[in-house]
């Protein structure tokens, strides 16, 4: 790797051991504090920092009285000048003046100025630094955090603003093997909080990890500390966490949460990391710690389990049991973070962002950062984003439904990136040619990292290289989405449309090649095909694969990556696969929606298990057994209940509902009727009462906490109807196909039109 390539991907200023960068405002000129780790020792250094922003021209700031300097930028981009100011406060003043004089905010693509609102990103981009150079993932000091809390009688979930909802125990561990528990049966709450601060300072972690640590653990600790007048000084400068409103977006999910920033340390929330992971894998049964740990095989044999609402009661009578439960949670959090966090640490070695932002921000922002770093270093003018428009997207199609035996999968390796590189499909506004050079280098570096991973002599080095190649893969596969993203600085919707058009041609050609070689395509999904190969021995299979590969254009590689015993093809992008090792993989919201009641999710999984294993005769009994359990009221009501998290405060919901801005919702109606204080982020579990299958759920819902097992009132006809409707829909999902070509065939469909998004 030559120096130019190294700088393009990893930045121009190698700074080994850099684990954190923090902004330190100062009257005479702002500073940045750099924290570096070497073994067990962390040192800090302050360096100067001068914020900057891009302008249409130097004249854009004419009339602004604050101190500033401007320099021209080369090229014909819309923003042809760079301005610098001495402090972040001066930058805020300049932005306020620009908003007032232009009438346009900094986020408006029409504005004659553009700014990065994060001082850490500005510094890293300007200085050419990135984090964690020379450090493996195992070289970081990582601490795991989990707390258990009391819930006052009559509520389902703890709330730090209720006086009686105290912290019962705090569990900690770190990557050196150390662990500790702060026991609320021995200490009062203020003493627990002070001991927590002491433990963080003593262990001095670079990263603090937890599952839902933003919205629950840290938020809870901060608010209870405030109640008791305790300074939660866990920052490396002794400061308390800074809490502000955050917004996390993953695929179609948007979550508002209380973001915590801790000076000199990174907070990683594995609740968000599992959602990012699931966007690409679509295999997780849910996002809760217990179910994710079971999915990955992290849950130990004999793990202590306690229902959330029972923790306070159990703690009063058997605190040791709660502490065992807490210790298991901490161990599972550590294992989950070790599985999912390395890819984000590896990204922070490439992208000029702090680790916390690298883990939370989308791929478009990261590609923007890489592009802008090069334009800033080259003092080149930058463009405005192009106007968005709809265009025809990737090819998806369904050819057979029902159960199909002996299904294989082939995947065009990085279809869109390969097409973009082979045919030079990059953004027209990229006058320096950075986009395709970055893409090409990232692809080459990924292959090199995979080779190093295979040759690695120890597990730590192997994990580090695996994380690095995984990071390259994520970024590489995001370059197409960047082209068609309205907010991307160097977007190009015409180029994005050409990429998808060529992709559709390649996939259509693959399908025809599979048919011509004797195979049966089952489903196309953007860059791969599920198909049934022709009958024959191994040599015949290799000849079939060679015939399909031979039809692909130059630069496009086809990988035959998976083989399955069976596939249940339900709808487009909704299917289940029976792997050779017996594992069942489910894809698509229609088959694995987390909005379904638990008994329906259980039924779907059992149904798919029977269908895929050829035990269709047992399905009728499965349905009858489930129906009997409902009719005979055999289950705890939690099997029937739905749990919803309030996105707004109940008062906000009530105002919107009154204004006609939204329909009635059971969870909000229950919160309003309870007379208790609920806030955005609280969860409510409810079930439906009554004696008719057709009811208004918002009027018939009751909280799970009000359920009386001695006077059961769940709506049997309602739940039976939900079961039967699901059973009918699954049965209508298509007839069996067993390799004889008799499966139901869909008519050819045009590809969907969409506005592309970054992945």
For residue 301, what are its two tokens? 């044999």
pLDDT at 672 over 60: yes
Please give the CATH topology (third level) of the domain spanning 595-731.
Topoisomerase I; Chain A, domain 4 (1.10.132)
Q: Please give the pLDDT value at position 218.
A: 97
What's the burial of 63, exposed, middle or buried (CB within 10 Å: 0-12/13-18/19+)?
exposed
Cβ atoms within 10 Å, residue 201: 14
Tens digit of each residue's pLDDT (9 = 90 or more) over 428-458: 999 999 999 999 988 888 888 878 888 888 8
Higher-pLDDT residue of 181 and 734 is: 181
What's the burial of 269, exposed, middle or buried (CB within 10 Å: 0-12/13-18/19+)?
buried
Q: Please give the pLDDT value at position 445.
A: 80
Q: Please give the pLDDT value at position 632.
A: 97
Architecture field, domain 139-346: 2-Layer Sandwich (3.30)
Tens digit of each residue's pLDDT (9 = 90 or more) over 96-128: 999 999 999 998 999 999 999 999 999 999 999
Q: 1 by DSSP, 3-state: which?
A: coil
CA distance 751 to 213: 41
Tens digit of each residue's pLDDT (9 = 90 or more) over 251-303: 667 788 899 999 999 999 999 998 888 876 667 777 889 988 988 888 888 89
- Which pLDDT band holds residue 377 (cuts at 50, 70, 90)? very high
- Which pLDDT band holds residue 751 (cuts at 50, 70, 90)? very low
Q: Please give the pLDDT value at position 233.
A: 98
Q: 713 by DSSP, 3-state: which?
A: coil
Q: Can you name the residues that pair with 728 across neighbouring β-strands? A: none
Q: Please give the pLDDT value at position 276.
A: 85
Cβ atoms within 10 Å, residue 547: 15
CATH topology agreement for domains 139-346 and 595-731 = no
Alpha helices (H) in 488-617, listed in sequence order = 493-516, 538-549, 589-592, 598-612
Domain coordinates in residue numbering, the chain: 3-131+360-377, 139-346, 391-590+740-754, 595-731
Q: Please give the pLDDT value at position 735.
A: 40
**What mean pLDDT is predicted for residues 634-662?**
88
Alpha-carbon dihedral sign for residues 517, 523, 527, 528? negative
Measured in degrees and rounded to the nearest 5, phi and psi for residue 693 equal: -70, -25
pLDDT at 157 over 90: no
Q: Please give the pLDDT value at position 734.
A: 47
pLDDT above 70 covers a percentage of the chain that reads: 95
Strands ordered across the beta sheet of 584-587: 396-398, 520-525, 528-532, 402-412, 558-571, 574-579, 584-587
Question: Widest CA span of the chain, in angstroms?
Answer: 82
Among 447-456, 631-640, 651-660, the minimum mean pLDDT is found in 447-456
**Of residues 134, 137, 139, 140, the one with CA closest to residue 464:** 137
Q: Please give the pLDDT value at position 754.
A: 29
Higher-pLDDT residue of 432 and 662 is: 432
What is the Cα gyration radius of the chain? 28
**Over the chain, what is the mean pLDDT?**
90
Tens digit of each residue's pLDDT (9 = 90 or more) over 1-55: 577 788 898 999 989 999 999 999 987 789 999 999 999 999 999 999 999 999 9
Q: Please give the pLDDT value at position 425.
A: 95
Please give the CATH topology (third level) of the domain spanning 391-590+740-754.
Palm domain of DNA polymerase (3.90.1600)
pLDDT at 414 over 90: no
pLDDT at 68 over 90: yes
Q: Please give the pLDDT value at position 595.
A: 77
pLDDT at 747 over 50: no
For residue 580, what are its two tokens? 């050779």
Tokens 């630094």 appear where? 129
What's the burial of 61, exposed, middle or buried (CB within 10 Å: 0-12/13-18/19+)?
buried
Q: Please give the pLDDT value at position 743.
A: 30
Q: Does domain 3-131+360-377 have CATH number 3.80.30.20?
A: no
CA distance 290 to 312: 19
Among 182-186, 243-247, 279-283, the minimum mean pLDDT is found in 279-283
Beta strands in 152-265, from DSSP E residues, in sequence order? 167-174, 179-183, 207-210, 242-250, 253-261
pLDDT at 737 over 70: no
Helix-strand-coil split of the chain, %, nearest 5 = 40, 20, 35
Residues across the chain? 759
pLDDT above 90 covers a percentage of the chain that reads: 68
């Amino acid at each position: 790797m030559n120096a130019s390539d190294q700088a393009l991907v990893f930045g121009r200023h190698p700074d080994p051991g850099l684990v954190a960068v923090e902004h330190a405002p100062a009257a005479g000129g702002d500073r940045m504090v750099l924290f570096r780790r070497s073994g067990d020792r962390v040192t800090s250094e302050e360096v100067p920092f001068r914020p900057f922003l891009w302008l249409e021209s130097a004249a854009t700031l004419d009339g602004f009285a604050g101190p500033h300097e401007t320099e021209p930028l080369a090229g014909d981009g819309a923003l042809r000048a760079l301005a610098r100011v001495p402090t972040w406060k001066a930058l805020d003043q300049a932005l306020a003046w620009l908003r007032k004089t232009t009438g346009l905010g900094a986020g408006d693509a029409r504005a004659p100025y553009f700014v990065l609102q994060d001082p850490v990103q500005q510094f890293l981009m300007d200085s050419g630094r990135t984090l964690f150079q020379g450090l493996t993932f195992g070289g970081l000091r990582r601490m795991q955090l989990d707390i258990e809390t009391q819930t006052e009688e009559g509520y389902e979930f703890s709330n730090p603003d209720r006086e009686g909802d105290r912290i019962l125990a705090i569990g900690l561990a770190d990557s050196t093997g150390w662990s500790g528990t702060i026991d609320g049966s021995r200490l009062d709450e203020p003493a627990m909080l002070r001991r927590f601060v002491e433990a963080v300072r003593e262990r001095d972690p670079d990263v603090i990890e937890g599952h839902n640590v933003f919205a629950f653990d840290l938020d809870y600790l901060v608010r209870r500390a405030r109640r008791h007048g305790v300074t939660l000084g866990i920052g490396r400068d002794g400061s308390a966490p800074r809490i502000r409103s955050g917004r996390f977006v993953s695929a179609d999910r948007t979550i508002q949460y209380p973001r915590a920033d801790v000076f000199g340390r990174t907070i990683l929330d594995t609740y968000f990391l599992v959602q990012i992971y699931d966007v690409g894998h679509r295999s997780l049964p849910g996002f809760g710690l217990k179910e994710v740990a079971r999915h990955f095989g992290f849950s130990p044999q004999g793990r202590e389990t306690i229902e959330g609402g029972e923790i306070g009661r159990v703690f009063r009578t058997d605190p040791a049991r709660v502490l065992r439960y807490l210790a298991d949670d901490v161990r599972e959090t550590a294992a989950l973070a070790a599985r999912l966090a390395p890819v984000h640490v590896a990204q922070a070695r490439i992208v000029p962002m702090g680790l916390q932002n690298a883990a939370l921000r989308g791929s478009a922002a990261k590609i923007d950062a890489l592009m802008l770093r090069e334009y800033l270093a080259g003092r080149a003018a930058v463009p405005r984003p192009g106007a968005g428009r709809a265009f025809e997207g990737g090819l998806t199609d369904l050819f057979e439904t029902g159960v199909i035996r002996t299904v294989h999968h082939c995947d065009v390796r990085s279809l869109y990136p390969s097409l973009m590189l082979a045919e030079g499909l990059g953004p027209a506004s990229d006058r320096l040619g950075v986009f395709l050079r970055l893409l090409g280098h990232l692809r080459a570096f990924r292959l090199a990292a995979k080779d190093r991973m295979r040759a690695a002599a120890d597990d730590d080095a192997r994990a580090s290289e695996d994380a690095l190649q995984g990071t390259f893969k994520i970024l590489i596969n995001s370059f197409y989405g960047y082209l068609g993203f309205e907010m991307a600085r160097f977007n190009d919707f015409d180029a994005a449309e050409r990429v998808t058009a060529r992709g559709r041609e390649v996939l259509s050609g693959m399908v025809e090649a599979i048919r011509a070689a004797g195979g049966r395509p089952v489903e196309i999904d953007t860059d791969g095909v599920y198909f049934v190969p022709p009958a024959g021995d191994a040599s015949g299979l290799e000849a079939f694969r060679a015939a399909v590969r031979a039809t692909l254009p130059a630069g496009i590689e086809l990988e035959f990556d998976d083989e399955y015993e069976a596939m249940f093809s339900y709808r487009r992008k909704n299917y289940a696969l029976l792997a050779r090792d017996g594992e069942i993989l489910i894809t698509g919201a229609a088959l694995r929606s987390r909005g379904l009641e638990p008994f329906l999710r259980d039924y779907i999984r059992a149904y798919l298990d029977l269908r895929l294993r050829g035990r269709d005769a047992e399905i009728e009994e499965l349905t009858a057994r489930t129906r009997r359990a409902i009719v005979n009221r055999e289950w705890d009501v939690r099997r029937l209940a739905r749990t919803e998290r309030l996105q707004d405060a109940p008062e906000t919901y009530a105002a919107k509902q009154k204004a006609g801005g939204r329909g009635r919702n059971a969870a909000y109606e229950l919160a309003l009727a309870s007379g208790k204080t609920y806030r955005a982020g609280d969860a409510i579990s409810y079930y439906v009462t009554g004696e008719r299958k057709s009811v208004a759920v918002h009027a018939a819902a009751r909280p799970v906490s009000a359920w009386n097992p001695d006077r059961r009132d769940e709506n049997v006809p309602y739940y039976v109807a939900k079961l039967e409707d699901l059973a009918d829909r699954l049965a209508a999902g298509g007839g069996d196909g067993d390799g004889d070509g008799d499966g139901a065939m869909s008519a050819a469909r045009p590809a969907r039109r969409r506005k592309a998004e970054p992945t």
